[in-house]
Amino acid sequence: MSPTTSQLSEFIRSLYQTNEFIPLHAPTFGEREKQNVLDTIESTFVSSVGEYVTSFEKQVEAFTGAHRAIATVNGTAALHTALYMSGVEQGDFVITQALTFVATCNAIHHMGAEPVFVDVNRQTLGMCPVALEAYLDESAITDGENCIHKRSGRKICACVPMHTFGHPVQLDELVTVCKKWNIELVEDAAESLGSFYKGQHTGTKARFSALSFNGNKIITTGGGGMLLCANETEARRAKHITTTAKVPHPYEFYHDEPGFNYRMPNLNAALGCAQMEKLETFIEKKRELAQQYRHFFKDSNFQFIDEPSECRSNFWLNAILCENERIRDSVLEEQNRAGIMCRPIWQLMNKLPMFKHCLHGELPISEDIQSRLVNIPSSPIGWDTI
Ligand X SMILES: *Cc1c(COP(=O)(O)O)cnc(C)c1O
Instruction: Name the residues that contact ligand X, by CB under 6 A.
Output: 74-76, 79, 100-101, 103-104, 162, 188, 190-191, 212, 214, 225
* DSSP structure class, residue 350: G
Over its C-alpha atoms, the chain yields an Rg (Å, rounded) of: 21
Output 142 or 216, the one with its CB closest to ligand X: 216
Which residue number has the CB closest to ligand X? Answer: 75
Which residue, 297, 291, 358, is CA-closest to 94? 358
Q: Specify the residue, 162 or 322, whose C-beta has the smaller distance to ligand X.
A: 162
- CB of residue 329 to ligand X, shortest distance in Å: 23
> Least separation, in Å, of the C-beta of 189 and ligand X?
9
3-state secondary structure of 374: strand
Strands lying side by side in the sheet with 318-321: 303-304, 318-321, 373-376, 343-344
Q: Which is nearer to ligand X, 168 or 297 (CB)?
A: 168
Q: How far is the CB of 190 from ligand X (least distance, A)?
A: 3
CA contacts within 13 A on the Cβ side of 246: 13
Non-local (6+) Cβ contacts of 12 within 8 A are 22, 335, 340, 376, 377
- What count of other Cβ atoms lies within 10 Å of the Cβ of residue 309? 8
Distances (CA, A) of 157 to 91, 211, 288, 361: 10, 21, 40, 17
- Minimum Å gap between C-beta 104 and ligand X is 5
What single string gives the DSSP state of each residue in 260-300? -B-BPPHHHHHHHHHHHHHHHHHHHHHHHHHHHHHHHHTTS
Q: Which is nearer to ligand X, 25 or 68 (CB)?
A: 25
CB neighbours of residue 347 within 10 Å: 12
Going by C-alpha positions, the residue among 275, 77, 284 that lies closest to residue 188 is 77
Nearest distance, CB of residue 100 and ligand X, angstroms: 5
* Closest listed residue to residue 226, CA positions, set 110, 50, 63, 350: 63
Q: Which of 78, 103, 93 is nearest to 181 (CA)?
A: 93
**Integer Cα distance of 359 and 116 in angstroms:** 5
CB of 316 to ligand X, least distance (A): 9
Please say which residue, 191 or 338, places its beta carbon nearer to ligand X. Answer: 191
Sheet containing 311-312, strands listed edge to edge, beginning at the edge strand earlier in sequence: 200-201, 196-197, 311-312
Our CB check for ligand X shows the closer of 148 and 169 to be 169
| Residue 53 or 162 with smaller CB distance to ligand X | 162
User: 28 or 100, CB closer to ligand X?
Assistant: 100
**Beta carbon of residue 223, minimum distance to ligand X (angstroms, whole number):** 6
Report in angstroms how near the CB of residue 192 gets to ligand X at its nearest: 9
Write down the least CB distance from residue 72 to ligand X, Å. 9
CB-based contacts of 305, cutoff 8 Å, min separation 6:
125, 165, 167, 318, 319, 320, 321, 373
Nearer to ligand X, 43 or 261 (CB): 261
Least distance to ligand X, CB of residue 225, Å? 5
101 or 297: whose CB is closer to ligand X? 101
